[in-house]
């Protein structure tokens, strides 16, 4: 075949390839951020990645004073096979700083609005730490019939004010720490991340977590934590769960046995322990966390 004909043939093949839809093995689009109005003048910063697929979408809900960026490694991995969404709750990260509604109950309504406006149907909710309270409040308010699954990461559902009577020493310690947090927010946060992450992290990664956490005003952060731990009794939400549930606990968690007992109260719930990990177990052992979650998702209906 003449050189000119070969060149023309190659160009035609290349042009045709541009019109072929991306296959499942194509490069995953980079995460993007959008703002979703969940209440008048209250906007949540939402990170999206991946593509709509037959698999249930994942919604990652972070802990107290953290944002969607704490889930970055998990977002990148799971976005290869399904739609993934993570959010900065109100008054956290790049979301609106609100002077009211900083409770799991209001954040559950915020989450409902995000799911509705972004047309996220039958997701698996993955809540970590404070995010467990948000998931509990969601189930208590809306039930679980619109969900495909629930993942509770290293926390139990609050018993409300009676938790103070059950463990007054823990309550006293928490209030003492809140005083330090309000007076020395950055020092407190650096100490907190050093405690809940037991494996070495790149300094830039830790700095990013602190930078995000500093965006929550300390007066709001203190009130938020009190509402999380000693607000409403959310333990009754266990009775309203009708979808597959996974409880993942850190091997070093002081609430390890309490989480085991919580899982036992939920019919059919799966309980897994990530050994050698602290509270932020998905940062300490990301591969182990991802393997457990992947196995669970294989048994969740699309």
Give residue-wise pLDDT tens across range 105-131: 999 999 999 999 999 999 999 999 999
102, part of any domain: yes
Which pLDDT score is estimated for 29? 62
If one counts every other C-beta atom within 10 angstroms of the C-beta of residue 13, the result is 9
Residues 6+ positions from 41 with CB-CB distance below 8 Å: 96
Range of the structural domain that residue 61 is part of: 35-297
Quote the tokens at residue 297: 């998702």
pLDDT tens profile 159-171? 999 999 889 999 9
Residue 262 lies in a domain: yes
pLDDT band at residue 100 under the 50/70/90 scheme: very high
* pLDDT value of position 27: 53
**Does the pLDDT at position 95 exceed 70?**
yes
**Model pLDDT for residues 216-227, shown as the tens digit of each residue:** 999 999 999 999
pLDDT at 17: 32
**Residue 252: partners with Cβ closer than 8 Å, 6 or more residues away:** 198, 276, 277, 278, 279
Residue 124 within a domain:
yes
At residue 109, the pLDDT reads 98
In a domain, 19, yes or no: no
Answer yes or no: are the C-beta atoms of 224 and 64 closer than 8 Å: yes
Is 15 part of a structural domain of the chain? Answer: no
Closest to 246 in 3D by CA, of 162, 132, 137: 132
Q: How far is residue 140's CA from residue 127's CA, in Å, rounded to a whole number?
A: 15
Q: Is 175 inside any structural domain?
A: yes
- Tell me what pLDDT residue 239 has: 87
Q: What is the DSSP string of 101-160?
A: --SHHHHHHHHHHHHHHTT--SPEEEEETHHHHHHHHHHHHH-STT-SEEEEES----BT
Task: Compute the mean pLDDT over every residue in the chain, rounded to the nearest whole number.
Answer: 90
State mean pLDDT over 3-26: 38
SS3 assignment, position 260: helix
Each residue's pLDDT tens digit, 19-73: 333 333 445 567 899 999 999 999 999 999 998 888 999 999 999 999 999 999 9
Q: What is the pLDDT of residue 12?
A: 35
Tell me the percentage of the chain whose pLDDT exceeds 90.
83
Number of domains in the chain: 1
CATH of the domain at 164: 3.40.50.1820
Assess if residue 2 is contained within a domain.
Answer: no
Each residue's pLDDT tens digit, 229-278? 999 999 999 888 999 999 999 999 999 999 999 999 998 999 999 999 99
DSSP 158-178: -BTTHHHHH-HHHHHHHHHHH
In terms of phi and psi (left: phi > 0; alpha: psi -120 to 50; beta: otherwise), the region of 235 is alpha
Looking at residue 203, what is its pLDDT? 87
Within-domain flag for 10: no
- Dump pLDDT digits (tens) for 234-245: 999 988 899 999
pLDDT for 191 beyond 90: yes
Q: Phi and psi (nearest 5°) for 290?
A: -65, -40
């Amino acid at each position: 075949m003449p050189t000119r004909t070969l060149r023309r043939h190659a160009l035609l093949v290349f042009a045709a390839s541009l019109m072929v839809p991306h296959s499942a093995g194509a490069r995953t689009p980079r995460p993007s951020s959008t703002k979703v109005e969940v209440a008048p003048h209250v906007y949540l910063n939402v990170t999206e990645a991946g593509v709509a697929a037959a698999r249930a979408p994942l919604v990652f809900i972070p802990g107290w004073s953290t944002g969607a960026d704490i889930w970055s490694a998990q977002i990148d991995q799971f976005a290869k096979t399904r739609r993934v969404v993570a959010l900065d709750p109100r008054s956290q990260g790049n979301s609106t700083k609100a002077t009211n509604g900083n409770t799991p109950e209001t954040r559950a309504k915020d989450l409902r609005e995000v799911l509705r406006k972004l047309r996220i149907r039958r997701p698996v909710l993955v809540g970590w730490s404070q995010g467990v309270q948000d998931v509990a409040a969601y189930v208590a308010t809306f039930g679980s019939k619109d969900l495909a699954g629930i993942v509770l990461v290293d926390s139990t559902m609050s018993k409300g004010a009676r938790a103070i009577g059950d463990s007054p020493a823990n309550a006293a310690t928490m209030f003492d720490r809140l005083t330090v947090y309000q007076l020395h927010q950055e020092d407190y946060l650096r100490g907190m991340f050093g405690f809940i992450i037991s494996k070495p992290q790149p300094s830039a990664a830790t700095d990013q977590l602190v930078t995000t956490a500093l965006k929550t005003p300390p007066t709001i952060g203190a009130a938020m934590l009190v509402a999380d731990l000693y607000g409403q009794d959310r333990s009754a939400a266990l009775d309203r769960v009708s979808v597959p549930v996974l409880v993942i606990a850190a091997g070093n968690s002081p609430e390890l046995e309490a989480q085991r007992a919580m899982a036992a109260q939920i019919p059919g719930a799966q309980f897994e322990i990530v050994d050698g990990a602290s509270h932020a177990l998905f940062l300490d052992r990301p591969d182990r966390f991802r393997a457990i979650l992947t196995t669970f998702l294989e048994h969740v209906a699309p």
